[in-house]
Amino acid sequence: MADNLVLLSVRDTGEVDQITGDEPASSHMKVDQVLIVIDDELKRIWIWKGADAPVRKKFIAARSAQGIRGGRGLAYKIVSEDAGEEDEEFLQAMGQAPTSRPDDAASKPSETPFTPPSDTTPKPVAKPKPAATPKPSPDYSSVVAARTATQTSRQKTVQVPHTSEEIIEQVKQLEPVPGFRREFVLVGFDAFAITEEATSVLGKRTVTHRLQRIDSLPEGVLFAQGYTPRIVIQNGQVLAVEFLKQVKEQEYQVEKRHLAELVRSSGTEASR
C-alpha cells in the first residue's frame, strides 16, 4: 500500500478501523465492504462502496468522512466511488489499472446513409419584397453620456479590488492578531484555507504555507464554533472575512512566520 494513503474499513457497529499491512490497497475492495481512502498528496477523501455493501455502512462512511475532513482541513475534497464506476484517478491511487471500455461507435453496426432522391421539378421563383423604409432611431447620446460620467465619478471615489486574487493579496499583508491564528478566509463566493506544502532537498525538509482556494465546500448551515471573525472593510465595502482560532504563544509565533512566508511568496510570484 502506498505511503501517502490511509485506508479505513467501516463496520456495521459504527466503528472505523485502519487497515495496515503490505497487501495492495485494491485487495481490500470487496463487494460487501465500504472503505474510506485518504490521500494526503492529492488531498482527497474517497468513499468506496461495494456492490453488496449495506446502507448502514454507507451512512457511517459519509458521516466519518466529514469528520476526517474537519480534522485535516477544508482543502480536502470528499469523492464518492461506486464499485464498477470508479474514475481513473481513484483506481491509480489504489494501484489498480483502469478498466478499458470498448468504443461505443465501434460496437454499433455500420449503416448505409440514406440519400433522398433529387427533385428535378422547377420551383417557382419568389418575388422580392419591397425594402422597408428605415425608421429614425431615437437619440440616446445624452443619456449614455450622463451614465458614463456617473460611473466614472464613482470609480474615482471608490477604488476597491475587484477579483478574489487581488483581495487575498491584501489579506496576506495584514498583521496577525496576538494569540490567534488564521484558519481560512471568505472572499465573496470564494473560500481560502491555509495549506502546507513540504519539499525535501538534499535531506533538508522545507514547509511552505499558502492560502489555497477551496474547490468543494460542505453543504448545509455551518457554525464557526471556536473561531473569531475579523472583517476587512474598505471604502464602505466588505472585502473579506477572516476566521481566527485562539492559540498559544508558541503557535502564534509560528503563525507570524507563516504570514511572512505568504508575503514573500506573493512578492516572488508578482516579480515573475
What pLDDT score was predicted for residue 86? 93
From the candidate CATH numbers 3.30.365.10, 3.40.20.10, 3.40.50.1370, 3.10.690.10, the one assigned to the domain spanning 5-93:
3.40.20.10
Average pLDDT over residues 214-236: 79
Task: Return the top range by mean pLDDT from 24-38, 92-106, 252-266.
Answer: 24-38
Question: Residue 25: what pLDDT?
Answer: 86
Domain extents in the chain: 5-93, 164-271
Higher pLDDT, 118 or 166: 166
Burial-class residue 42 by CB neighbours within 10 Å (0-12, 13-18, 19+): middle
DSSP-derived secondary structure letter, 129: P
How many angstroms separate the CA atoms of 32 and 16, rounded?
Answer: 15
Least confident of 29-43, 63-77, 246-260: 246-260
pLDDT level of residue 251 (50, 70, 90 thresholds): low
pLDDT at 11 over 70: yes
Encoded amino acid at 128, one letter = P
Tell me which long-range contacts 112-117 makes (C-beta under 8 A, separation of at least 24). Answer: none
Distance (Å, rounded) from C-alpha 125 to C-alpha 119? 16
How distant, in Å, are the alpha carbons of 14, 67, 163, 251 from that of 236?
50, 38, 17, 33
DSSP state for residue 25 in the 8-state scheme: G
Beta-carbon neighbour count of residue 57 at 10 Å?
20
Instruction: State the virtual CA torsion across 244, 246, 247, 252 in degrees, nearest 10.
Output: 50
**Residue 54 · residue 12 · CB < 8 Å:** yes
Q: What mean pLDDT value characterizes the chain?
A: 76
9 with 21: CB under 8 angstroms?
Answer: no
Counted residue by residue, the chain has a size of 272
* 88-115 per-residue burial string, b: 16 or more CB within 10 A, e: under 16: eebbebbeeeeeeeeeeeeeeeeeeeee
**CB 243 within 8 Å of CB 229:** yes
Report pLDDT digits (tens) over 80-117.
999 999 999 999 888 876 554 434 444 444 555 556 55
Show the cell assigned to 23: 497487501
pLDDT for res 145: 60
Give the per-residue pLDDT at 101. 41
